[in-house]
């Protein structure tokens, strides 16, 4: 006989009722996304007895942050004011508060310098502005120059923009009491409360690494009296040094310099209707997360939906939502949508999609939802880029599959914010239908780290150079540059050790790098360029062949401007177009420093040009100043202190070129240099160093050129340049003295009978100089040929005195036998 447990029978209805209540309580709302949660939406809260996913954990993380809130403080007594300023962190944008007024917030902050000017007595806000300094900081300087005396300045950087803020801009900040700004470099954020007229160092400033955990270095707050320090007498704001030549931003845009920069394109994002919490019952923690919703559509006559931050971004007739992939780009620290795009990857090739994904700045978030069919024309390269952004499912995206994904450029890890539904047969897959709170800092939730040796940082807490990591993941030819020891090293110019040189005019001369086709060579050139003390990256322009996208990606790592050039394939045409671009982008510059392909700069390259720049500029007979001595071979190179004045020496490798020469003799030409150094220019004087400041890498074919048959030498340190080259009169006087003081001379005909090598070997090494005399220019030609040195008929015809050195000690002066120097 079965015994009935009456207590258990009475308990069963109660358990069933409890279960049904729980079941209905956890169901989502009705199916209308415009009203409530979406039926069938994937749960974002882990169930009982079910392990929580990473997405589940995100939803339960932390409460609202009060750090960025603005409020009154009763401890501040009138007329004191509460200021709270925090520089940018790894996961949050900067903010600034005046009492309960937020000066910067996620709606009005932008990449670059965000600044507010306040009345220095009342604290009333006069003006707020944002300056994107990536192309030029000229607008920032113009704005600072107009700030009234005694006004308060509250400013904060957003984005890794330190190397785009010039020395001249930093000088203007010093007028507001700034001092720490001089130490602001790559990988750091900057913020200031200053006042025009206070002494240098009296402003409240912070320079802190983005990943620095010490919040005290990032946040400063307190009750401030106004003025914040003693204000001196009014002094006109001005920039020390020569006139500032900045790039013409409109010309840069015209030449397509911003085509690969989605942030510079300034295309407005069209928003649809508001949708509270993107369909979720509970609001997200807005300090750290963003509400999002993805719907991939149920059939081909439906339409995709994407909601971000409580606003519809893709919907019917909104932002071209449709078949293929629908994408949005977000600034991760503000959650602000900065660009949207749609690509029909069923019918169209993926080239446009690849370009768009490549143009996403490193660190930015990309959200994607598919609709209808998105795999048919999706290229392997596009899949690779999605993989690099954190997708673990992209390789399984097949015909009529449904997919959503949120990743981050340069994350080097899988993100948990992705799902893929695979169809059965030829049917459409079940739709993606999900809403959740997306964290602004995705790397915290990364599921897979790239553990390959070349992509692993030496310490987990090191600052990661995300742009460089992305580049190295994409291209595998740069072994040392991308090696583990260098992977996260910052890319920035060498610090100027002598601050008294900060106003040198050379720092305001545009530098043109006319790159060739080899990315390795361009990288070496740019690395040697950034090794120049005091380099102003605002003045650097790199031109590259439009067909070689790797060069464009490489240039972006070095914080310099770049323009793609569509040439006919010859370096001759490329160089001419590059010169045209440089002189038009910097319309006020009287000269341009040129670096040709395959050039590595000595560490004193810029210092050398600084030493000769003023005499070069002042002398109307001088068109060019070279960094390359065509006869700077190991056995014929001069010393690092001497500069020659040579008529009609052609530009080779790297040189200063005057605008007047370009405009009158080069601009309208169809060719300049069918081979290296083979220019046809007007009669003029070139300044040429006795010892080269560059090295030129050449291939086997070019080694047949007399310039590269033998080993060369270049300087390895800074030299104090002798001044005798500065004017024609001084140089002729020096040559006369040199000839008169040289005690030993020999006719070239005598050397010809002995043989130049035998003669050189028997020379007294104690000699400082020796004269070689000629009666005909053919004898000079024979000497150049004998020592395998470079010459041109035009150089021989135009000059009466020729100089080189033997054994790096004995100066050889070749003069006519009548010894009259004019």
Secondary structure of residue 128 in the 3-state scheme: strand
Structure-token match 């793609």, residue found: 564
Convert the pLDDT of each residue in 145-180 to its tens digit: 999 999 999 999 999 999 889 888 999 999 999 999
687 within 8 A of 725, measured Cβ to Cβ = yes
pLDDT, residue 214, reads 59
Whole-angstrom distance, CA of residue 369 vs CA of residue 431 = 10
More confident residue, 25 or 364: 364
Whole-angstrom distance, CA of residue 418 vs CA of residue 368 = 9
Least confident span in 325-339, 449-463, 529-543, 714-728? 449-463
Least confident span in 21-35, 304-318, 698-712? 21-35
Whole-angstrom distance, CA of residue 287 vs CA of residue 440 = 9
Residue ranges of alpha helices (H) inside 213-291 are: 249-254
Whole-angstrom distance, CA of residue 3 vs CA of residue 349 = 73
pLDDT, residue 472, reads 87
pLDDT, residue 330, reads 93
pLDDT, residue 463, reads 62
pLDDT > 70 in the chain, percent: 85
Convert the pLDDT of each residue in 8-31 to its tens digit: 444 454 454 444 444 433 333 333
Convert the pLDDT of each residue in 605-620 to its tens digit: 999 999 999 999 999 9
Reference 345, options 392, 400, 307, 294; nearest CA is 400
Whole-angstrom distance, CA of residue 198 vs CA of residue 174 = 9
Instruction: Give the torsion through C-alpha atoms of 548, 551, 553, 555, to 10 deg.
Output: -150
120 within 8 A of 151, measured Cβ to Cβ = yes
What DSSP assignment string belongs to 220-286? EEEEE-SSSS-----------SSPP----HHHHHHTTTTTT-TTTS-PPPPP--B-GGGG-SSPP-T
Whole-angstrom distance, CA of residue 331 vs CA of residue 172 = 29
668 within 8 A of 680, measured Cβ to Cβ = no
Residue ranges of alpha helices (H) inside 208-332 are: 249-254
Whole-angstrom distance, CA of residue 313 vs CA of residue 290 = 14
pLDDT, residue 37, reads 33
Whole-angstrom distance, CA of residue 679 vs CA of residue 681 = 6
Reference 335, options 91, 89, 63; nearest CA is 91
Convert the pLDDT of each residue in 181-219 to its tens digit: 999 998 899 999 999 999 999 999 999 988 766 556 677
CA 371 to chain centroid: 35
- Long-range interactions of 386-391: CB distance < 8 A, separation 24+: 386/357, 388/412, 388/470, 388/473, 388/474, 389/357, 390/414, 390/415, 390/418, 390/442, 390/446, 391/415, 391/418
Per-residue pLDDT, averaged over 737-757, amounts to 90
Secondary structure of residue 731 in the 3-state scheme: helix
- Any residues with CB less than 8 A from the CB of 821 and at least 6 apart, and which? 732, 735, 736, 739, 800, 801, 815
Per-residue pLDDT, averaged over 397-401, amounts to 94
Whole-angstrom distance, CA of residue 431 vs CA of residue 38 = 12
pLDDT, residue 447, reads 61
Does position 734 have pLDDT exceeding 90, yes or no?
Answer: yes
Whole-angstrom distance, CA of residue 221 vs CA of residue 612 = 49
Whole-angstrom distance, CA of residue 373 vs CA of residue 423 = 11
Q: How confident is the model at residue 267 (pLDDT cuts 50, 70, 90)?
A: low
pLDDT, residue 444, reads 63
pLDDT, residue 4, reads 45
pLDDT, residue 620, reads 95
pLDDT, residue 32, reads 35
Per-residue pLDDT, averaged over 370-397, amounts to 93
pLDDT, residue 820, reads 56
List C-alpha distances in Å: 330 to 151, 366, 473: 35, 6, 22
The dihedrals phi and psi of 455, each to the nearest 5 degrees, come to -120, 20
Q: Does the CA dihedral 380-385-388-392 come out positive or negative?
A: negative
Per-residue pLDDT, averaged over 514-528, amounts to 94
pLDDT, residue 730, reads 95
Convert the pLDDT of each residue in 756-801 to its tens digit: 888 988 888 889 999 999 999 999 999 999 989 998 888 999 999 9
Number of Cα atoms under 13 Å in the Cβ half of residue 633: 17
Per-residue pLDDT, averaged over 64-84, amounts to 75
Sheet holding 112-118, edge to edge: 125-131, 112-118, 152-158, 188-195, 204-209
758 within 8 A of 788, measured Cβ to Cβ = no
pLDDT, residue 451, reads 44
CA angle, 453 as apex, 448 and 456 as ends, to 5°?
A: 55
pLDDT, residue 531, reads 96
Whole-angstrom distance, CA of residue 47 vs CA of residue 438 = 20
What DSSP assignment string belongs to 304-362? -EEEETTEEEEBTTBTT--SEEEEEEE-TTT--EEEEEEE-TTTS-SHHHHHHHHHSPT
Per-residue pLDDT, averaged over 295-307, amounts to 93
pLDDT, residue 454, reads 41
CA angle, 314 as apex, 313 and 319 as ends, to 5°?
A: 90
Per the omega criterion (within 30 degrees of 0), is the bond before 441 cis? no
318 within 8 A of 312, measured Cβ to Cβ = yes
Q: How confident is the model at residue 33 (pLDDT cuts 50, 70, 90)?
A: very low
Reference 159, options 249, 87, 257; nearest CA is 87
CA 138 to chain centroid: 17
Whole-angstrom distance, CA of residue 175 vs CA of residue 178 = 7
Q: How confident is the model at residue 547 (pLDDT cuts 50, 70, 90)?
A: confident
- Write down the mean pLDDT value for the chain: 85
CA angle, 721 as apex, 715 and 723 as ends, to 5°?
A: 150
Residue 99 CB neighbour total at 10 angstroms: 15
Residue ranges of alpha helices (H) inside 237-299 are: 249-254
Give me the numbers of helices (H) and strands (E) for the chain, helices first please: 18, 32
Q: How confident is the model at residue 431 (pLDDT cuts 50, 70, 90)?
A: very high
- Any residues with CB less than 8 A from the CB of 324 and at least 6 apart, and which? 342, 343, 344, 345, 346, 347, 348, 370, 371, 372, 373, 374
Per the omega criterion (within 30 degrees of 0), is the bond before 79 cis? yes
Structure-token match 């939803």, residue found: 59
pLDDT, residue 466, reads 76
Tokens standing for 643? 């500069």
Q: How confident is the model at residue 271 (pLDDT cuts 50, 70, 90)?
A: very high
Tokens standing for 355? 């370009």
Reference 652, options 693, 607, 596; nearest CA is 596
Structure-token match 């209707």, residue found: 273
Per-residue pLDDT, averaged over 342-366, amounts to 91
pLDDT, residue 242, reads 65
Per-residue pLDDT, averaged over 658-671, amounts to 87
Tokens standing for 580? 């045209």
Whole-angstrom distance, CA of residue 264 vs CA of residue 247 = 15
């Amino acid at each position: 006989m079965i015994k009935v447990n009456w207590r258990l029978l009475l308990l069963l209805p109660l358990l069933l009722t409890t279960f049904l209540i729980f079941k209905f309580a956890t169901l989502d709302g009705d199916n209308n996304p415009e009203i409530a949660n979406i039926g069938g939406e994937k749960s974002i809260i882990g169930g009982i007895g079910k392990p929580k996913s990473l997405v589940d954990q995100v939803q339960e993380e932390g409460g609202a942050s009060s750090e960025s809130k603005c409020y009154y403080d009763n401890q501040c007594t009138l007329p004191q004011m509460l200021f709270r300023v925090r520089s940018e962190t790894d996961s949050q944008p900067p903010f600034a508060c005046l009492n309960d007024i937020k000066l910067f917030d996620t709606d009005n902050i932008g990449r670059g310098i965000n600044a507010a000017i306040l009345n220095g007595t009342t604290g009333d806000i006069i003006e707020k502005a944002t300056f994107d300094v990536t192309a030029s900081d000229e607008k920032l300087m113009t704005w600072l120059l107009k700030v009234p005396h005694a006004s308060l300045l509250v400013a904060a950087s957003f984005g890794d923009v330190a190397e785009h803020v010039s020395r001249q801009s930093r000088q203007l900040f010093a007028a507001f009491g700034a001092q720490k700004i001089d130490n602001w470099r790559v990988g750091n954020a900057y913020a200031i409360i200053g006042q025009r007229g206070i002494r240098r160092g009296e402003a409240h400033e912070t320079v802190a690494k983005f990943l620095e955990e010490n919040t005290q270095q990032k946040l400063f707050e307190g009750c401030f009296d106004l003025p914040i320090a003693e204000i001196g007498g009014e002094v006109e704001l001005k920039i020390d040094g020569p006139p500032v030549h900045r790039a013409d931003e409109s010309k840069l845009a015209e030449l397509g310099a911003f085509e690969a920069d989605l942030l510079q394109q300034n295309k407005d994002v069209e928003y649809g209707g508001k949708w509270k919490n993107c369909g979720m019952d509970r609001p997200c923690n807005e300090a750290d997360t963003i509400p999002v919703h993805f719907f991939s559509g149920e059939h081909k006559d439906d339409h995709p939906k994407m909601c971000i931050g409580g606003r519809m971004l893709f919907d019917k007739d909104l932002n071209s939502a449709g078949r293929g992939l629908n994408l949005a780009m977000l600034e991760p620290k503000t959650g602000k949508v900065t660009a949207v795009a749609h690509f029909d990857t069923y019918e169209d090739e993926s080239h446009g999609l690849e370009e768009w994904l490549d143009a996403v700045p490193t660190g930015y978030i990309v959200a994607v939802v598919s609709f209808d069919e998105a795999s048919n024309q999706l290229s392997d390269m596009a899949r690779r880029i999605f993989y690099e952004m954190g997708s673990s499912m992209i390789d399984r995206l097949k015909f009529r599959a449904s997919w959503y994904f949120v990743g981050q450029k340069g994350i080097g890890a899988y993100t948990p914010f992705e799902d893929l539904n695979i169809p059965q047969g030829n049917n459409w897959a079940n739709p993606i239908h999900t809403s959740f709170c997306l964290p602004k800092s995705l790397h915290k939730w990364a599921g897979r780290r790239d553990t390959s040796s070349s992509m692993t940082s030496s310490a987990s807490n090191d600052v990661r150079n995300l742009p460089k990591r992305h580049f190295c993941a994409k291209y595998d030819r740069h072994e040392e540059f991308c090696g583990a020891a260098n992977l996260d090293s910052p890319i920035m110019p060498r610090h100027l050790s002598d601050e008294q040189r900060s106003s040198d005019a050379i720092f305001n001369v545009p530098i043109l790098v006319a790159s060739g086709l080899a990315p390795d060579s361009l990288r070496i050139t740019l690395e040697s360029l950034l090794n120049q003390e005091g380099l102003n990256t605002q003045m650097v322009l790199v031109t590259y062949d439009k067909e070689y996208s790797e060069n464009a990606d490489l240039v972006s790592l070095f914080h310099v401007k770049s323009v793609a050039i569509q040439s006919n394939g010859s370096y001759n045409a490329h160089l001419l177009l590059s010169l045209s671009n440089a002189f038009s982008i910097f319309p006020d510059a009287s000269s341009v420093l040129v670096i040709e392909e395959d050039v590595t700069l000595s560490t004193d390259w810029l210092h050398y040009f600084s030493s000769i720049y003023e005499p070069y500029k002042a002398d109307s007979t001088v068109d060019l100043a070279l960094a390359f001595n065509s006869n700077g071979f190991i056995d014929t190179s001069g010393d690092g202190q001497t500069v020659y004045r040579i008529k009609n020496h052609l530009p080779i490798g790297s040189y200063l070129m005057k605008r007047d020469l370009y405009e009158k003799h080069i601009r309208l030409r169809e060719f300049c240099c069918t081979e290296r150094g083979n220019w046809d220019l007007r009669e003029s004087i070139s300044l040429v160093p006795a010892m080269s400041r560059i090295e030129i890498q050449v291939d086997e074919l070019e080694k047949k050129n007399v310039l590269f048959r033998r080993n060369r030498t270049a300087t390895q340190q800074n030299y104090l340049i002798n001044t005798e080259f500065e004017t024609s009169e001084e140089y002729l006087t020096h040559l006369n003295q040199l000839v008169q003081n040289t005690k030993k001379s020999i006719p070239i005909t005598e050397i010809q009978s002995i043989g130049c090598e035998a003669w050189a070997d028997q020379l007294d090494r104690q000699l400082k100089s020796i004269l070689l005399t000629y009666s005909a220019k053919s004898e000079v030609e024979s000497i150049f040929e004998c020592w395998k040195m470079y010459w041109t008929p035009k150089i021989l015809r135009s000059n009466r005195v020729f100089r080189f050195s033997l054994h790096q000690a004995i100066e050889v002066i070749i003069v006519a036998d009548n010894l009259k120097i004019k």
